[in-house]
Copies of this chain bind each other. A is one copy, B any other.
Amino acid sequence: MEEVSSRRSEDLATDRRGLKVLTYDECLERVAEAPLGRVAFEHEGDVIIMPVNHVVDGMAIAFRTTWGSKLQVAADSGRIAFEVDGHDTTSQTGWSVLVQGSATLVYEAADRDRLDRLGRSSWAPEVENMFWVRVLPESVTGREILSASPE
């Protein structure tokens, strides 16, 4: 995995937008804790965003889905993004972590079994043609809004 800039940042570093920069470890913690993430990828000129129940598998993020063919095309032609976020409407605070990398379908039975054992199955109904997809992160960045905007 590429060294990412947030890894070298101080805890209270802010970016040019005035947002707190999350450290690499904070980003990974939030990915691991989030019950739900979202993936986005380009497919035939359209950008698609879909929620997924993910698991952390070593350095990778994995999820089950039926869109094997779409994601295979995405993996061949470009990159994929994975995001988790959280917010508090009352305090108008929130955070997000963006993971960018390439997606591959998981074909090996041993890998599929290990992912099945990681346990958090998809909330969506079980249907045929479900695939495990693994995202290998090349960039991991996170931002947090610490307080409400003055207005």
Contacts and interface: CB of A to CB of B under 8 A. Distances in A.
Interface string A110-139: 000000000001111111000000000001
Contacts of A18: 124-125, 127
Contacts of A100: 46-48
Interface stretch (A3-11, A24-32, A83-91): A83-91
Nearest to A139: B46
Contact of A81 (B48, B92, B93, B98): B48
Interface residues of A, number: 46
Contacts of A40: 40, 47, 49, 81
Contact of A125 (B19, B85, B98): B19
Contacts of A123: 87, 92-94, 145, 148-149
A124 B17 contact: yes
A80 interface: yes
Interface of A: 16-19, 35-36, 38, 40-42, 45-51, 66, 78-83, 85, 87, 89, 92-94, 96, 98, 100, 121-127, 139, 145, 148-151
